[in-house]
Amino acid sequence: MNINITKKVINIGILFLFFTSISQGIAQKNDLYSLGEKLVEIAKSGNPDKIVDYIDDQLDLDQKAQIMESYLTVKDQLFASMNQNKLQLFNVLIENGFIYIIVYDGNNFKIIKSKVNDNNKLIDHFAIVNNQTADVLKLGKSIYKIKCYSCHGKFAQGGIAPNLTDNYWKYVKSDQSFFELVQKGKKGTMMIAFKDYLKPNELNAVLTYIKALKNKKQKKPKKPEGEKKDIKLSVFN
């Protein structure tokens, strides 16, 4: 075979694998978000039997029963402290092998934790994450609305300032540098030093809220700015 033709075939193969891996990653994120939406819908519908459709078929009956029972417990806990009619999915995050489903009722946050397999089927029981994290999100949201909304948009999707929910960054290299950017600001940009306006716990809260918006579905996100970077922004650790 002609060497040039061989190189072209190899390059096409590499490109195919590259774009396939990207599309699979995007599909997985979308599938997880869809799973979160379905779990919230099931909770609100009052028909928890539908949860069975999202449990891994390979589990034994006792394991499936445990997941079902934990889901019913979590549902009751949600409705005991949240407005059922306004309950909605805020976002779905993956950290350290756990799926975190963040729900919101217009006032309060709750976070549900579980595990899924490679096919996004449930393989572990449900639990509500400690209320402290939910309270931090609530505080962070209130601060974001006052300090960040006007530049970065309602859900950090971008406005006159960059989108904070995609994987493109101008000045951020790590979780720590993200904190320092917000704390100290950036000369030559509109980013002011928020250490002059926020207490340490408030700064931490608004950063936690922004990180919880990562990869959130947006209706009209601003076009990416900066370089694409795989930066781990931890919300739960």
SS3 label, residue 34: helix
Model pLDDT, residue 8: 46
Domain with CATH 3.10.450 in the chain: 1-129
Domain with CATH 1.10.760.10 in the chain: 130-237
Residue 180 near residue 207, CB atoms below 8 Å: no
For residue 130, with 0-12 CB atoms within 10 Å meaning exposed, 13-18 middle and 19 or more buried, which class applies?
Answer: exposed
Pick the CATH number of 130-237 from 1.10.599.10, 1.20.120.1230, 1.10.760.10, 3.30.420.40: 1.10.760.10
SS3 label, residue 114: strand
Residue 113 near residue 100, CB atoms below 8 Å: yes
1-129 topology per CATH? Nuclear Transport Factor 2; Chain: A, (3.10.450)
Task: Write the DSSP symbol of residue 69.
Answer: H
Model pLDDT, residue 26: 38
Pairing status of strand 109-114 against strand 168-169:
unpaired
Please tell me the distance from the alpha carbon of residue 86 to that of residue 60, in angstroms, as a whole number: 35
pTM: 0.83
Helix or strand (DSSP H, E) at 90? strand 88-95
Long-range contacts of 28-35 (CB under 8 A, 24+ apart): 28/120, 29/215, 31/120, 32/92, 32/94, 32/99, 32/116, 32/120, 33/89, 33/91, 33/92, 33/217, 35/92, 35/99, 35/116, 35/120
Task: Write the DSSP symbol of residue 107.
Answer: S
Please tell me the distance from the alpha carbon of residue 122 to that of residue 128, in angstroms, as a whole number: 15
Model pLDDT, residue 96: 86
Model pLDDT, residue 217: 82
User: Tens-digit pLDDT profile for the chain (237 aa)?
Assistant: 555 554 444 444 443 333 333 333 434 556 889 999 999 999 988 788 899 999 999 999 999 999 999 999 999 999 999 999 999 999 999 998 899 999 999 999 999 999 999 899 999 999 999 879 999 999 999 999 999 999 999 999 999 999 999 999 999 999 999 999 999 999 989 999 999 999 999 999 999 999 999 988 888 899 999 999 988 888 986
Q: CA triplet 26, 175, 112: central angle to 5 degrees?
A: 60
Residue 120: left (phi > 0), alpha (psi -120 to 50), or beta? left
Residue 100 near residue 236, CB atoms below 8 Å: yes
